Copies of this chain bind each other. A is one copy, B any other.
Amino acid sequence: MLPDQDILAGWLVMTEVKIRNMEEFAALIGISRPTVSKYFNEPDSVRPTTREKIEAALAEHDYRPNMYAVNQNRKLTKNVGIVVPLLVDPYFAEIARNLEQRCIDAGYRPTLFSAHGTPSHEVEILDTLRSLKPAGVLLAPMGRASDRTALEKFCGKVPTLIFDSSVDEIGLAFVGSDNIQFTTEITDYLCRTGEPPCFFEMKTPANPNAHRRRQAYLNAMARFGHPAQVISVDGEGWSFEEIGRLGAHKAFDKDAFSTNTILCSNDRLAIGFLTACHERGIRVGREDGCAIRVAGQDGHPHSRYTCPPLTTISHDYDAVSKAAAGALFSAIEGAVRPWNSTRLEGKLVLRSSA
C-alpha cells in the first residue's frame, strides 16, 4: 500500500515519486497489480480504458517492471541471443545490426555476442547464453574451429537458428547465402568479360562456405570449358586481409598466376590482395593499362572503398536476416518444422576492379 502522503507528493511534484514496484504503481493509478501485470505481458489483454490509464501513468512516472523478477519464473524469456564469430568484421557487424533491429521490432530483447575469433570464447558464450534463458538464439558459428559437441548440446536445449555458416542439420534450421550461386555467377561474369579467373583462397578456411565456393568455381570452369587454377595460401585465424596480402606476395613471387583475373574466396582476402598489388605497383582494374582484375565475394561493407572499388557478389543482407529472424520467431511461437536449409541468392556488384 502506498501511504496517502506519497500519493499527494506525487500529485504535487509529478516525477519526484519513486515507484518501487508494480504494487505501488498499480495503487497510484487505482487498479490492481494483476491487471497491470497483464498489461505488461499483453497490452491488448486489458480494456482500452484501463490501458490508457496505465499508459498515461507510465508516461509520467517512469516505472518499468523489474526484469529480473519478471524473468525469474518465466520458463522462457523474451531474450534473443545473437552470436557472431567476429564482430570486428563489418560484415558480421552489419548483419548483426540487421538482426538486432528485427528482434526489437518483433518484441524481443536481443543481446549481442562475439566470439572474437576464438573457439573457446564461442563455448563460453553458449554457456552464458544458457543462463539467460533466451527464447531463442541466432547463431553464426565459427565454423571449422567450433566445438561441435558443445554446439549440438546447446541446440538441444535452446531453440537455435544457424545462419551464415552451416553446421549440418544442427538447430532449428539454417539460413544463409547460396555460395554455389555466388561463385557460379561471378565466375560466369568474369569469364564473359575477360580472361577466365583463377581462384584465390585460404588453404585452411574458417568455415565451409569457402569449400562450397571453391567447388562451385571448379564446376563452373569445367562447364565453361576453361582450365581451372586454385591458389591456396597459408594462414590461420581471422586476419584475412593480412593472409590475402602475404599470400598474394608469395604467389606473385612464384609467378603463380596463369591468368590476369583473380577471383578471391571472399572480400577480405581480396582487400589484402589489392594491398599487395599496390605494394608491388601492379595496376588492378578492367580498364586499359591494368595488369590484372580482382574480384571478391560477400559484398563487404568496405568493398566500395577499396582502390580500385571491388567487384563482388553481395549477400542479400536484408533477405538473409529477414529469413533468419523470421524462422526463429515462428519456431519460438510454436511452429514445428523439420530442419531445413534456406540459401539466398546474392547480387553481382560491378565495380572497377574487375
Within 8 A of B (CB), among A172-193: none
One of A158-166, A215-223, A298-306, A319-327 contacting the partner: A298-306
Within 8 A of B (CB), among A12-68: 64, 66-68
Inter-subunit contact B90/A97 (CB<8 Å):
no
- A131 to B66 Cα, complex, angstroms: 7
- A26 to B108 Cα, complex, angstroms: 34
Q: A87-B97, A93-B88 are in contact. Are A307 and B305 (CB under 8 A)?
A: no
A85 within 8 A of B: no
Inter-subunit contact B97/A272 (CB<8 Å):
no
Inter-subunit contact B112/A241 (CB<8 Å):
no
Q: Which of A's residues lie within 8 Å of B, judged by CB?
A: 64, 66-72, 87-90, 93-94, 96-97, 100-101, 109, 111-114, 116, 128, 130-133, 241-242, 245, 271-272, 274-275, 277-279, 301-302, 304-309
Inter-subunit contact B116/A64 (CB<8 Å):
no
Inter-subunit contact A307/B304 (CB<8 Å):
no
Which B residue's beta carbon lies closest to that of A272? B305
Q: Return chain B residues, CB-CB under 8 Å to A277.
A: 307
Q: Which 5 A-B pairs have the closest CB atoms?
A: A278-B307, A307-B307, A68-B72, A68-B71, A88-B93
- Interface majority SS on A: helix, strand, loop or mixed? helix
Q: In the complex, which of the residues B64, B66, B90, B305 contacts A245, with contact meaning CB atoms closer than 8 Å?
A: B305
Inter-subunit contact B308/A278 (CB<8 Å):
yes
Q: Return chain B residues, CB-CB under 8 Å to A90.
A: 88-90, 93
Minimum Cβ distance to chain B for residue A129 (Å):
11
- A70 to B88 Cα, complex, angstroms: 32
Q: Return chain B residues, CB-CB under 8 Å to A301.
A: 88
Minimum Cβ distance to chain B for residue A33 (Å):
17
Beyond A67-B131, A275-B304, 9 additional pairs, beta carbon < 8 A: A64-B131, A68-B133, A87-B93, A88-B301, A89-B90, A112-B112, A245-B305, A278-B308, A278-B309
Inter-subunit contact A271/B72 (CB<8 Å):
no
Q: In the complex, which of the residues B89, B128, B131, B275 contacts A307, with contact meaning CB atoms closer than 8 Å?
A: B275
Which B residue's beta carbon lies closest to that of A112? B112
List, sorted by A's number, 25 A–B pairs whose CB atoms are closer than 8 Å.
Answer: A64-B130, A64-B131, A66-B131, A67-B68, A68-B68, A68-B69, A68-B71, A69-B72, A72-B72, A88-B90, A88-B94, A88-B301, A97-B116, A109-B128, A111-B111, A111-B112, A112-B113, A241-B304, A245-B305, A272-B305, A274-B305, A274-B307, A275-B309, A302-B302, A306-B306
- A301 to B130 Cα, complex, angstroms: 32
Which B residue's beta carbon lies closest to that of A93? B88
Minimum Cβ distance to chain B for residue A269 (Å):
11
Minimum Cβ distance to chain B for residue A270 (Å):
10
Which B residue's beta carbon lies closest to that of A91? B88
